[in-house]
């Protein structure tokens, strides 16, 4: 018989541990699921919650009414907390609401399950308030926190959770999942190579729409290879104010230069993501040539590694932009 866990790809290790916990009926009061967004952490949290309340008494069967309500998000004992739209973090009031519900008896099933998706975005006050409940959890409540890695939440929080790490998805798995979404062929191949283990990221790249914040960055990006030194330093300052945003800019740059690479190699235009900027892309592709473009893509990946190692954000971008500029036919002044 298949279970909800079977719907999750590429996470055999953490899923095995979760299934064993259900089968042995020894379920920790709190888990911390770590890994990149879009690798199956939230699906696993829902499968776990459904298993705790499944009418079969075992692993989430998918077909009982409790399981169906878990997957449709209508079960009264499944509570998912995440940053509100337009907010970057989970607020104290949201955590207070979790605590208030956690002390009550479950309404439908045996357990109330609280999934905190983005546990790393709680501020200190919210985290400290949550801590008391994690220390002395009500007997019928279970908590599943989701964060990119263990170090991104307070040690006092992570030490009260059983940490399960989810791995970035392999390229083939992302490709398979994209094919299920109807994205096939070269496009699926390209997106899976850009996804860096995250289905969420692959789907973001799939659409030409870029986040509103980045919509104004097309112009500076398109003219990077002909900007003067001062303009590059100004850009690095603006793009380098915040590590997360800088990483977003790098993702955007990867798309941009891959598009140029495709054009430069005379690949099919339907692989180009930012097709509405075709003239700028074509101009860049002609100026930069395939050899330089692959060096630029490597330099972007190096910058990403540096940013993930906590280097100075602005300096890292400075170095990257000057490197990109150095590949253009006319050297900077």
Residues binding Zn ion (CB under 5 A): 54, 61, 64, 67
Chain centroid offset of residue 144 CA:
17
CB 122 within 8 A of CB 130: yes
Nearer to Zn ion, 61 or 144 (CB): 61
CB of 58 to Zn ion, least distance (A): 8
Integer Cα distance of 214 and 25 in angstroms? 48
Shorter beta-carbon distance to Zn ion: residue 67 or 262: 67
Q: Of 59 and 119, which has the nearer Cβ to Zn ion?
A: 59
- Looking at the Cβ atoms of 19 and 120, the one nearer to Zn ion is 19
Of 62, 301, 309, 149, give the one whose Cα is nearest residue 324: 301
Query: Shortest approach of Zn ion to residue 193 CB, angstroms?
Result: 37
Least distance to Zn ion, CB of residue 53, Å: 8
The residue whose two tokens read 């005379």 is 266
Q: In the complex with Zn ion, which residue's Cβ is closer, 61 or 285? A: 61
State in angstroms the smallest separation of the CB of 268 from Zn ion: 46
CA 50 remoteness from chain centre: 23
User: What is the closest distance, in whole angstroms, from the C-beta atom of residue 7 to Zn ion in the complex?
Assistant: 13
Nearest to Zn ion of 62, 117 (CB atom): 62
Least distance between Zn ion and beta carbon 59 (Å): 8
Strands in the chain per DSSP E = 30-34, 78-81, 112-117, 141-147, 162-165
Which residue has tokens 């309340």? 53
Identify whether the C-beta of residue 121 lies closer than 8 Å to the C-beta of residue 90.
yes
Nearest-Å Rg of the Cα atoms of the chain is 23
Q: What span, in angstroms and rounded, lies between the C-alpha atoms of 98 and 130?
A: 8
């Amino acid at each position: 018989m298949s279970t909800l866990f079977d719907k999750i790809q590429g996470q055999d290790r953490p899923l095995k541990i979760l299934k064993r916990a259900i089968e042995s009926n020894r379920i920790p009061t709190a888990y911390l699921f770590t890994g990149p967004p879009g690798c199956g952490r939230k699906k696993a949290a829902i499968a776990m919650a459904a298993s705790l309340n499944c009418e079969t008494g075992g692993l989430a069967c998918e077909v009982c009414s409790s399981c169906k309500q878990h997957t449709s998000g209508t079960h009264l004992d499944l509570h998912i907390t995440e940053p509100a739209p337009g907010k970057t973090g989970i607020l104290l009031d949201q955590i207070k609401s979790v605590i208030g519900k956690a002390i009550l008896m479950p309404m439908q099933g045996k357990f109330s399950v609280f999934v905190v998706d983005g546990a790393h975005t709680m501020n200190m006050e919210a985290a400290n308030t949550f801590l008391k409940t994690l220390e002395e959890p009500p007997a019928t409540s279970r908590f599943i926190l989701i964060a990119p890695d263990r170090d991104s939440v307070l040690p006092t929080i992570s030490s009260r959770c059983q940490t399960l790490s989810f791995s970035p998805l392999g390229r083939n798995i992302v490709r398979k999942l994209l094919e299920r979404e109807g994205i096939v062929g070269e496009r699926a191949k390209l997106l899976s190579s850009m996804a860096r283990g995250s289905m969420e990221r692959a789907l973001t790249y799939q659409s030409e729409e870029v986040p509103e914040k980045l919509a104004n960055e097309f112009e500076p990006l398109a003219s990077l290879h002909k900007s003067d030194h001062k303009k590059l330093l100004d850009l690095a300052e603006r793009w380098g104010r915040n590590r997360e945003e800088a990483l977003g800019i790098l993702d955007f740059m990867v798309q941009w230069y891959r598009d140029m690479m495709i054009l430069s190699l005379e690949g099919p235009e339907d692989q180009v993501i930012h097709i509405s900027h075709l003239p700028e892309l074509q101009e860049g592709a002609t100026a930069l040539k395939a050899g330089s473009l692959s060096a630029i893509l490597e330099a972007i990946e190096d910058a990403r590694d540096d940013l993930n190692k906590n280097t100075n954000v602005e300096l890292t971008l400075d170095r990257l932009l000057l490197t990109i500029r150095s590949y253009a036919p006319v050297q900077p002044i």
